[in-house]
């Protein structure tokens, strides 16, 4: 009997497949359908730090600027923090799988206290989506990394539920960064977030953007780093993210050492039924390979379990493919 259960951030999951933070997890109806299809957990659409700060500011202005208050309440109607808390509560009532809240944040300021409300609403964990596009020439990388750590530590002080940090791969030494996140209280890390990327329209002569949704080829950065970090920062739970579109990709990420995988683009492209398709593929592979549980093969091909671990660190094409025609 195949057992797909696993554990991520200390939470028991019925399967390793998590629906990642996006518009699809903003409604209880959809969340219920993901749970029925076999998802192990859902990460709710992100709240933005700016949204929290804005609404906190509104309370200060309420008595002083009644006109401004009208305008602000209009804005807040469609961006309400209260709505987010209700979403957590109703999702928790509707499904048995863990509901992970998500905050998109950039500063360790007073907004952090709002994390307490998220915990009180019943979220099983919080995923912090942190990203700074550092483009100032006079700010060191070290200073920017410190912002991640401060933010995490301050949130760690106000809530007791597990925290995961969702990051990009552009760090000078990712192993050190992820280890620093672990020692400062992150139970998990999501590798990696996918960002809005610019493109140029050469006919209209303007800046535009590249594809919003990922493709299966986008798995590679994540696969490399899951393979390396599941060995080097063994104690942190890794959720692989980006470019996971089929059962094979799920298997690869677990073999590389992921505790769970997050999917988004494939659900936009093919709908929630893809969850079952991916899990069925995972099960038939496990049957073929005679594995009964996820733990039986997790990390079997990570950095410390392959004959030549340096293969995960290869980066220069020219050195290895000089004869490539």
Residues that bind ligand FMN (CB under 6 A): 20-23, 45-46, 102, 104, 129, 166, 193-194, 212-214, 218, 241-244, 263-265
Inter-CA distances, 240 with 12, 58, 188, 189, 206, Å: 17, 38, 11, 9, 34
Q: How far apart are CA 214 and CA 192, in angstroms?
A: 12
Return the percent helix, strand and coil in the chain, to nearest 5: 50, 15, 35
Q: How far apart are CA 226 and CA 266, in angstroms?
A: 20
Q: Of 155, 223, 151, whose CA–CA distance to 192 is shortest? A: 223
Closer of 159 and 291 to ligand FMN (Cβ) = 159
Report, in Å, the least distance between residue 67 CB and ligand FMN: 32
Closer of 231 and 261 to ligand FMN (Cβ) = 261
Report, in Å, the least distance between residue 302 CB and ligand FMN: 21
Closer of 45 and 224 to ligand FMN (Cβ) = 45
**Phi/psi of residue 113, each to 5°?**
-60, -25
Q: How far apart are CA 210 and CA 189, in angstroms?
A: 26
Report, in Å, the least distance between residue 210 CB and ligand FMN: 12
Closer of 45 and 154 to ligand FMN (Cβ) = 45
Q: How far apart are CA 5 and CA 7, in angstroms?
A: 7
Report, in Å, the least distance between residue 217 CB and ligand FMN: 11
Report, in Å, the least distance between residue 252 CB and ligand FMN: 14
């Amino acid at each position: 009997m195949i057992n797909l259960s696993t554990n991520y951030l200390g939470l028991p999951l019925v399967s390793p497949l998590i629906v990642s933070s996006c518009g699809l997890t903003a409604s209880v109806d959809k969340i219920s359908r993901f749970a029925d299809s076999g998802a192990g957990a859902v990460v709710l659409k992100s709240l933005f730090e700016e949204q929290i700060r804005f609404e906190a500011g509104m309370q200060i202005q309420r008595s002083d600027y009644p006109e401004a208050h009208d305008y602000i309440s209009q804005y807040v109607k469609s961006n309400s923090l209260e709505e987010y808390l209700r979403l957590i509560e109703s999702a928790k009532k509707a499904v048995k799988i863990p509901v992970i809240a998500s905050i998109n944040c950039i500063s360790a300021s007073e907004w952090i206290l709002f994390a307490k409300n998220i915990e009180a609403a019943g979220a099983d964990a919080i995923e912090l989506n942190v990203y700074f596009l550092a483009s100032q020439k006079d700010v060191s990388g070290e200073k920017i990394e410190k912002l991640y750590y401060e933010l995490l530590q301050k949130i760690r002080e106000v809530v007791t539920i597990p925290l995961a940090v969702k990051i990009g791969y552009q760090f000078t030494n990712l192993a050190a960064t992820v280890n620093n996140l672990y020692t400062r209280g992150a139970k998990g890390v999501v590798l990696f977030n996918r960002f809005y990327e610019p493109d140029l329209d050469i006919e209209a002569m303007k800046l535009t953007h590249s594809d919003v949704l990922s493709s299966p080829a986008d798995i590679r950065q994540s696969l490399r780093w899951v393979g390396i970090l599941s060995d080097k920062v063994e104690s942190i739970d890794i959720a692989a993210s980006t470019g996971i579109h089929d059962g094979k990709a799920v298997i690869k990420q677990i073999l590389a050492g992921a505790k769970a995988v997050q999917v988004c683009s494939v659900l936009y492209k093919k709908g929630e039924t893809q969850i079952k398709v991916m899990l069925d593929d995972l099960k038939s592979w496990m049957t073929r390979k005679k594995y009964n549980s996820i733990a039986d093969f997790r990390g079997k091909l990570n950095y410390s379990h392959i004959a030549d671990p340096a293969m995960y660190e290869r980066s220069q094409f020219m050195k290895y493919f000089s004869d490539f025609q």
